[in-house]
Structure 1
């Protein structure tokens, strides 16, 4: 895929942050329709106004206020999109939340854990299930981009629920990629995105670690966009995150924990995490 020109693009968590950046890139490449989902109605409408004002093309921008923690809301919005816009060809499962700074048993209530799993793990599955049949039936190139996290590859203290949700997202996302290949639907590519902490505000207070810098949103979005068009199976940033995968394969757990915890300090990066006061979406 050289460009998303004339494609129908849907982005969850689209009102701000990385979702908004993806929408701007879609507009710049003259997507036919850009469908924005978010729970923050005011920010959603502001982003839509900016896209319409800044686009020199005839791109159509559609906004839907959707709470992706609710299955009925996803199903209702998806049906409206199919009726009002048509079949989606490029889907960014970008919406996400993060909870941290406490040990799992110190979490104030289990609602945070359930909410985290609903947004980060279950919602991408439900959203993709709504639009994958249309992609499979389509004649052209289609893409599903699932934004997971480096925390979906490596365990980390003080973010157990978040890690659990992202491990689930990674396993599901890459399994769907394999299923599409096995079923012969080679025109539909799935990309799983696993970045380290990103300076969008969601990870305020989290620390960088040696070889693991805090990432700029623009850097991540630009790389994801490039790899998405190639149909790459994974985007892992920075590449040093792959060291954890190597360590898991060759080092005893006690040695790996010593390197990550004592030498690199990875296991202490969430000790002063604050995050945003309100984090409905990524």
Structure 2
């Protein structure tokens, strides 16, 4: 029915936050499978140049753009360039994100609150809106949108209020778009919402692991996401304890759940030693 995807060979992919970490791994996987074009967006020019050189040395057809996705005008300019240089996009991976680990009242309105919401919540919406209409027109050709949210988009956590807010927004929006596409009969376009716990990319440096929940490796997460994306899965929660936490949250009184989350699972203490990649 035009929705199955066994490989990304011949496809055009766009990955945000692609210079390093998981974004770079997605790009490597795309090149390995013979994607027709791999479009990389990132704000880090030097890291992006190094990634592009590596991918091209492996035979990848790579296009790179320095883009600050916190700025709508920058997104619009980059979209126009991609349309001119590459054409339409078949697979969009909204991977770029930031985190600020503080109590809400310690956040700076611009550098913390506005920036987090702009990059984590609004940017995926703007970027998807720009490329989705052309995907819809590709009847019979499978297309994918992958939105990297977070387990923090499902479970509240101290010192993550603004980050949780951005990821709750991303999660709700992403899954709603999935339902809208299905309802409108655009079954060839599948939306995958990804909600992982902490990943060892450096972004969550200092965060503690939880009961039965180790810090995940980027390689593990990207492999799971890549497979889920190709089969058209609607949601990916990693690891299994995220499912357990959501089930308990729905079943137990708030005070009971809060006690378990803090004293048994250790969820509410995970950000006490957080430093992050940039110390914020």
After TM superposition, the structure 1 = structure 2 runs for residues 75-224 of structure 1, keeping only pairs within 5 Å, are 75-100=76-101, 102-139=102-139, 140-224=141-225
CA deviation string 1:20-52 (max 9, x = no partner): 000000000000000000011111111010001
Query: Which residue of 30, 35, 45 corresponds with 1:31?
Result: 35
Paired with 1:205 and 1:278, the residues of 2 have a C-alpha distance of 10
TM-score computed with the length of structure 2 as normaliser: 0.96
3-state SS in 2 of match to 1:119:
helix
**RMSD in angstroms over aligned alpha carbons?**
1.1
Query: Which residue of 40, 44, 48 corresponds with 1:44?
Result: 48
3-state SS in 2 of match to 1:34:
strand
Task: Tell me which residue corresponds to 1:68.
Answer: 69
Mark the CA change 1:69 to 1:278 in structure 2 (over 3 Å): closer, same or farther.
Answer: farther
Gaps of 5+ in 2: none
- Kindly state the Cα deviation for residue 107 of structure 1 after the two structures are TM-superposed: 2.2
Paired with 1:108 and 1:120, the residues of 2 have a C-alpha distance of 16
3-state SS in 2 of match to 1:211:
coil
TM-score computed with the length of structure 1 as normaliser: 0.96
3-state SS in 1 of match to 2:273:
coil
Q: Write out the 4+ residue segments of structure 1 that deviate beyond 3 Å after TM superposition.
A: 108-111
Mark the CA change 1:46 to 1:88 in structure 2 (over 3 Å): closer, same or farther.
Answer: same
3-state SS in 1 of match to 2:261:
helix
Paired with 2:254 and 2:279, the residues of 1 have a C-alpha distance of 36
Paired with 1:92 and 1:33, the residues of 2 have a C-alpha distance of 14
3-state SS in 1 of match to 2:208:
coil
Paired with 2:110 and 2:37, the residues of 1 have a C-alpha distance of 39
